[in-house]
């Protein structure tokens, strides 16, 4: 962090260039046609493609999730550093205080970070895999504020405060025998655990050994994988099956929920899942390496669904989403 705080705007800019175009050691490549020939424009951080049919004007963040950025590169790296240094996540409010950002900027920026953390979800997991799910989201008001007499009134109360829970399903590789391989963690946010099965099938190689608990919702996986099941009402590991790696992801999730984010709004729960899976997967990677990894993912991520977020939602109160 000390190195980051001492960084000049030029240093920060060079770091972005290097991570965007590692193959040319930071020399610009046209994002449209892939040509390396360019004119440097008078605005010294922009280029124009030399190819006659293209002539695109671009900068280091063009066509990435950080396009139309307004922050200085230094501030951007500072924000990314704060974000990766928070082991259990970083609340937007903390970023506001530490970086002097507005709430909007911090909110959108963090969601872009989360989005880019899921950029490698098309990779296929193999080895030994564990799958499990957990409830997520706002819990129902279990107890009314004032005493309710009679069952009928209580039913009415429950109707007025419906259950808002949904599930986060995690699919996690066990550590590989080859120590250079990262054990990957993937999550998906679904209405109920059973709805996570298509995702599991999509991201896990067919036929591998998969561990799950006794929940009936996992039954269909028997068709595609070598299933090992553990009955959690008896034990958490019987020497054959266990889902402790999946459980340890959920313990991080719960810490983040209780200690940092307070609650995961349903519309964004999936994104928090991506973030915490990334943190779990890279928990043994040094912070400076994590910083480079996140910048490089951002540079590889296409324009975001969060782009123009506040323009579109101007009339919508955030807390209703
Ligand atoms: Zn071009």
Distance (Å) from CA 8 to ligand 1 centroid: 30
Calculate how far, in angstroms, residue 294's C-alpha sits from the geometric centre of ligand 1.
Answer: 26
* pLDDT at residue number 144: 63
Distance between Cα 41 and ligand 1 center (Å):
14
Please choose, from the candidates 75, 42, 46, 43, the residue with its C-alpha nearest in 3D space to the C-alpha of residue 60.
46
User: Partners of 204 in the beta sheet?
Assistant: 125
Gap from CA of 121 to ligand 1 centroid (Å):
28
Q: Which two tokens stand for residue 259?
A: 């200690």
- Report CA(248)–ligand 1 centroid distance (Å): 47
How many angstroms separate the alpha carbon of residue 303 from the centre of ligand 1? 18
CA 49 distance to own-chain centroid: 33
pLDDT of the residue at 217: 93
CA of 55 to the centre of ligand 1 (A): 6
Residue 57 Cα to ligand 1 midpoint, Å, equals: 8
Best CA proximity match to 77, nearest among 303, 292, 278: 292
**11 CA to middle of ligand 1, Å?**
26
Phi, psi of 306, deg, nearest 5 = -85, -5
Q: What is the largest CA-CA distance in the chain?
A: 79
Question: How far apart are the CA of 40 and the centre of ligand 1, in A?
Answer: 13
Tens-of-pLDDT digits for all 321 residues of the chain?
Answer: 778 888 999 999 999 999 999 999 999 999 999 999 999 998 779 999 999 999 999 999 999 999 877 899 999 999 999 999 988 899 999 999 998 999 989 999 999 999 999 999 999 999 999 999 998 876 655 566 677 777 888 788 777 776 677 899 999 999 999 988 999 999 999 998 999 999 999 999 999 999 999 999 999 999 999 999 988 888 777 778 889 999 999 999 999 988 888 878 888 899 999 999 999 999 999 999 999 999 999 999 987 766 666 555 543 333 333
Q: Which two tokens stand for residue 121?
A: 């979800």
Beta bridge partners of residue 210, listed in sequence order:
129, 227
Distance (angstroms) between ligand 1 centre and the Cα of 30 equals: 5
Ligand 1 mean position, distance from CA 62 (Å): 12
Angle 257-309-122 from CA coordinates, rounded to 5°: 65
Q: How far is ligand 1, taken at its centre, from the CA of residue 82, in Å?
A: 35
Extract the tokens encoding 270. 């999936």
**Using an 8 Å Cβ cutoff, are 279 and 182 in contact?**
no
Given this model, what pLDDT does residue 316 score?
A: 39
- In angstroms, rounded to a whole number, what is the distance separating the alpha carbons of residues 167 and 10? 44
SS (H, E, C) the chain: CHHHHHCCHHHHHHHHHHHHCHHHCCCCCCCCCCCCCEEECCCCCCEEECCCCCCCEECCCCCCCCCCCCCCHHHHHHHHHHHHHCCCCCCHHHHHHHHCCCHHHHHHHHHHHHHHHCCCCCCCECCEEEEEEEEECCCCCCCCCCCCCCHHHHHHHHHHCCCCCEEEEEEEECCCCCCCCCCCEEEEEECCHHHHHHHHHHHECCCCEEEEECCHHHHHHHHCCEEEEECCCCCCECCCCECHHHHHHHHHHHHHHHHHHCCCCHHHHHHHHHHHHHHHHCCCCCHHHHHHHHHHHHHHCCCCCCCCHHHHCCCCCHHHC
- Give the per-residue pLDDT at 291: 95
**Closest to 106 in 3D by CA, of 116, 94, 92, 117:** 92
Return the pLDDT at 317: 36
C-alpha 290: how far from its chain's center? Answer: 14
Q: How far is the CA of 38 from the centre of ligand 1 (A)?
A: 8
Distance (angstroms) between ligand 1 centre and the Cα of 48 equals 8
What is the predicted pLDDT for the residue at 307? 65
Distance 21 CA to ligand 1 centre (A): 15
Taking the centre of ligand 1 as the mean of its atom positions, its distance from the CA of residue 56, in whole angstroms, is 5
How far is ligand 1, taken at its centre, from the CA of residue 108, in Å? 29
Between the CA of 287 and the centroid of ligand 1 the distance, in Å, is 35
């Amino acid at each position: 962090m000390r190195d980051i705080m001492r960084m000049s705007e030029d240093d920060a800019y060079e770091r972005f260039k290097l991570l965007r175009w590692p193959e040319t050691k930071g020399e610009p490549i046209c994002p449209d046609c892939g040509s390396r020939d360019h004119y440097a424009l008078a605005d010294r951080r922009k280029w124009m493609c030399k190819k006659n049919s293209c002539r695109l004007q671009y900068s280091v963040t063009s066509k990435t999730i950080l396009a139309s950025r307004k922050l200085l590169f230094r501030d951007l790296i500072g924000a990314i550093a704060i974000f990766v240094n928070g082991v259990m996540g970083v609340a937007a409010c903390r970023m506001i205080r530490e970086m002097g950002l507005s709430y909007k900027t911090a909110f959108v920026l963090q969601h872009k970070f989360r989005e880019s953390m899921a950029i490698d979800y098309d990779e296929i997991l193999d080895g030994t895999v564990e799958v499990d799910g957990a409830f997520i989201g706002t819990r129902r008001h279990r107890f009314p504020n004032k005493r309710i007499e009679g069952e009928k009134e209580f039913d009415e109360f429950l109707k007025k405060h419906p259950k808002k829970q949904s599930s986060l399903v995690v699919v996690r590789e066990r550590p590989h025998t080859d120590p250079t391989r990262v054990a990957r963690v993937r999550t998906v946010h679904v209405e109920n655990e059973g709805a996570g099965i298509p995702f599991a099938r999509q991201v896990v190689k067919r036929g591998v050994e998969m561990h799950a608990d006794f929940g009936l919702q996992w039954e269909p996986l028997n068709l595609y994988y070598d299933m090992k099941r553990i009955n959690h009402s008896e034990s958490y590991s019987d020497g054959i099956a266990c889902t402790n790696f999946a459980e340890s992801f959920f313990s991080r999730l719960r810490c983040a929920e209780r200690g940092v984010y307070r609650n995961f709004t349903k519309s964004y729960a999936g994104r928090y899942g991506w973030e915490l899976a990334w943190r779990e997967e890279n928990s043994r990677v040094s912070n400076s390496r994590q910083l480079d990894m996140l910048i490089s993912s951002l540079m590889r991520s296409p324009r975001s669904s969060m782009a123009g977020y506040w323009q579109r939602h101007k009339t919508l109160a955030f807390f209703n989403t």
